[in-house]
Amino acid sequence: EYEIFLLGRSNVGKSTLMAELTGHAVETGQRPGVTQAPNHFDWTHPSMVLTDLPGFGFMAGVSEADRERIKTDVIQYVERYADHGLVAVLVVDGKAVIDIIDRHTGPDEVAHVVELFAFLQDVGIPTVVAVNKMDKVDDRDERLNELCDRLGLPGPWQQWQDTIAPITAKRGSIDALESAVREHLHEAGRDDV
Ligand code: GDP
């Protein structure tokens, strides 16, 4: 069974996106400990599941220690199941992500989302960043270019359309994500999906 890892901190719109992808309402888990038994959801193909994993970083009502443990759990899960994982989808809030990254970047600090993206690349899982809530973003190209810059992807974002997928999950505008994922599945020889 193959997996698509879906990662993102709370409130980025992960449940909304899951509902679009699976065609039914889902409740994603953001509670501490959820990664010990991650939620799996059927996707359009019987041998394919979506695995919901919490992102790193701030979660309301979760202590620093619990956050660290969640992070360790996510890393362990992804490393352990990297062979099954065809694609990782990292969901971010397009309106907030640059501010959050810049606020948490310093001489001794790497923002969680940047760290998570780098980790997924290191493990060798093709990663798509689903940049959600684009309906709230006015300066679309500028914002997406900034995101590429922060993630270490050189050049204009249009060069990274299999990695950067601007979406508005709430309105069901997820074409960019679906084609990016399909592109990676194609590269993995999974045209049957
Ligand atoms: P989760 O915690 O990541 O599962 O996030 P939810 O799916 O529960 O969404 C969090 C909030 O963001 C809700 O109020 C959603 O209605 C809102 N939201 C989700 N997707 C979008 C979007 O594309 N645009 C806007 N403006 N809001 C969205």
pLDDT per residue over 37-73, tens digit each? 567 776 666 567 888 887 666 667 778 888 888 888 8
Query: What gap in Å lies between CA 19 and CA 160, rounded to an integer?
Result: 26
Choice from 6, 10, 16 to test ligand 1 binding pocket (greatest atom count within 8 A of CB)? 16
Q: Where are the domains of the chain?
A: 2-187
Cα of 193 from ligand 1 centre, angstroms: 27
Q: Report CA-CA distances (Å) from 38 to 31, 32, 83.
A: 11, 11, 17
CB atoms under 10 Å from CB of 148, counted, come to: 19
What are the pLDDT digits (tens) for 105-153?
999 999 989 999 999 999 999 999 999 999 999 999 999 999 999 999 9
Cα of 113 from ligand 1 centre, angstroms: 18
Query: What gap in Å lies between CA 151 and CA 154, rounded to an integer?
Result: 9
Cα of 169 from ligand 1 centre, angstroms: 8
Atom of ligand 1 minimally distant from the CA of 173: 23
| Tokens matching residue 121 | 């690349």
What are the pLDDT digits (tens) for 100-117?
999 999 999 999 899 999
Tell me the pLDDT band of 180, cut-offs 50, 70 and 90. Answer: very high
pLDDT of residue 172: 95
0.90 surpassed by complex ipTM: yes
What are phi and psi for residue 105, nearest 5 degrees? -115, 130
Over range 84-98, report the average pLDDT: 93
The order of strands in the sheet holding 48-54 is 39-42, 48-54, 2-8, 85-93, 127-132, 164-166
Domain over 2-187 is classified CATH 3.40.50.300 = yes
Cα of 168 from ligand 1 centre, angstroms: 9
- Contact 168 CB / ligand 1 (< 6 Å): yes
What are the pLDDT digits (tens) for 20-29?
888 777 666 5
